[in-house]
Amino acid sequence: MTQQNEIEQAYDLAREQYQRIGVDTDQAMARLAQCSLALHCWQGDDVQGFLTPDQPLSGGIAVSGQYPGRARTPAELAADLAQALKLIPGHQHKVALHAMYAVVPKPVDVNDVEPEDFDFWIDWALAQGVGLDFNGTFMANTMMKDNLTLTSPDPAVRAYWIAHGKLARRIADYMGQRLGQQVINNLWIPDGSKDNPISKRGPRERLLTALDEIEATPYPEAHTIDAFEGKLFGTGIESYTAGSHLFYNNYALTRGKLWTIDAGHWHPTEDVSDKFSAVLPFASKGLYMHVSRPVRWDSDHVVILDDALMNIAHSLVRDDYLSRVHLGLDFFDATINRIAAWVVGARAMQQALLQALLEPTEALAQAERAGDFTTRLVTTEGLKSYPFGAVWDKFCADQGVPVGLTWLSTVRAYEQQVLAKR
């Protein structure tokens, strides 16, 4: 029996089993195929960028490991991303860039790049049939003074980063024009304090004024929309984070922008999935989400199919928020093959979504409304042993990507033929 026959037979049995509880597996796969993920380019080169490659990381960001094959040039990073995309089902994905990934003939300051310096990535995205998202690079820069950017009391430092925020918006708009689709421009800054500050008001008032200056120029939302990413704490800002969750949530809601939820930016005991239904009734433009995996802190581990990810996926599906939340990956691990990291993380997010889509959501909601919590518990627990894997294999086969663990051999071959020679 061929692998395809095995996949089809297993799927037929799984489809019948799910049909008995009112779930249409074909419909679930069709819905999953419409879900876009934004792959983060910085996994491929350990957050180095191409502007000032010798500039050390700052802003609480650290990458562990020295696995061979790190992308060193735009062409190498683009090739690695293309390889990863071939192994991830779905055809509506995006790639998230940082300002420091501009393609220039020689190293320059991040504020000296122009929108046209991203033509390499725009042309590549058009050829690959993917979209792009963008991030200003408010880190790894000598103009970070005392770990501060937009909140700095130094007017010259603050002016520099305001100019960068304006530039990031201009670049995102240019990308959106050329791509013919919306580019999300995400803003995150590492500003805060290691110990208890006397004034918590001053930095946030400076941040508010700076953001309003950055946002003064309107751009068509068909091309771009801005998102603002908060954080509980980070390395070097353990006691006070100027751009907190509440600050950016309020800013996004009052300015008609997106609020970014990063799964790693919360207290370890918080349930990130609970945030969606608390915010989306007020967020007319939706939410942006960075899917990460914290281990005790914002450690940016590769996303895996764990309980936290399942909670996120179930919340998005059960409350019908899939169309209102933009999903992007955000992690970096240099202890393993970097392409494998992309594929594991993306597939885990898709597997979580598929399991959520294979749930009889309306029947469970009806039972809940009727106070039948027994049916709710029995069904949700019983589904954990349902043949989800057979549906996932069928989805991968239909999407033209390797099934099961077979994709790893493709990564290993690419490693020998390409990565090992770097």
User: DSSP states of 248-309 as a string?
Assistant: HHHHHHHHT-EEEEETTSS-TT--GGGHHHHHTTT-TT-EEEEE-B-SSSS--BPP-S-HHH
Name the DSSP class of 326. Answer: E
Task: Provide the residue count of the chain.
Answer: 422
Name the active-site residue from 229, 333, 359, 415: 229
Name the active-site residue from 40, 257, 275, 290: 290
With a CB cutoff of 8 Å and minimum separation 6, the contacts of 95 are 38, 39, 40, 41, 81, 121, 125, 130, 131, 132, 133
Catalytic, 320? Answer: no
Name the active-site residue from 124, 161, 188, 342: 188
For residue 378, the one-letter residue type is V
Dist CA 352 CA 347 (whole Å): 8
Catalytic, 306? Answer: no
Name the active-site residue from 93, 94, 231, 394: 231
Q: Tell me the pairing of strands 131-135 and 192-193.
A: unpaired
Name the active-site residue from 245, 265, 314, 326: 265
Dist CA 73 CA 334 (whole Å): 17
Name the active-site residue from 215, 300, 393, 415: 300
The answer to whether 189 and 151 have CB atoms below 8 angstroms apart is: yes
Catalytic, 265? Answer: yes
Dist CA 264 CA 220 (whole Å): 31
Name the active-site residue from 46, 215, 298, 415: 298
Catalytic, 319? Answer: no
Q: Kindly calculate the radius of gyration of the chain based on its CA atoms and give it in whole angstroms.
A: 22
Place of tokens 């589904």: 383
The answer to whether 348 and 327 have CB atoms below 8 angstroms apart is: no
Catalytic, 231? Answer: yes
Name the active-site residue from 330, 359, 393, 415: 330
Dist CA 402 CA 390 (whole Å): 14
Place of tokens 């993380």: 345
Dist CA 10 CA 394 (whole Å): 9
Catalytic, 80? Answer: no
Virtual CA dihedral for 194, 198, 202, 207, nearest 10 degrees? 10
Name the active-site residue from 133, 262, 359, 415: 262
Give catalytic residue positions.
188, 229, 231, 262, 265, 290, 298, 300, 330
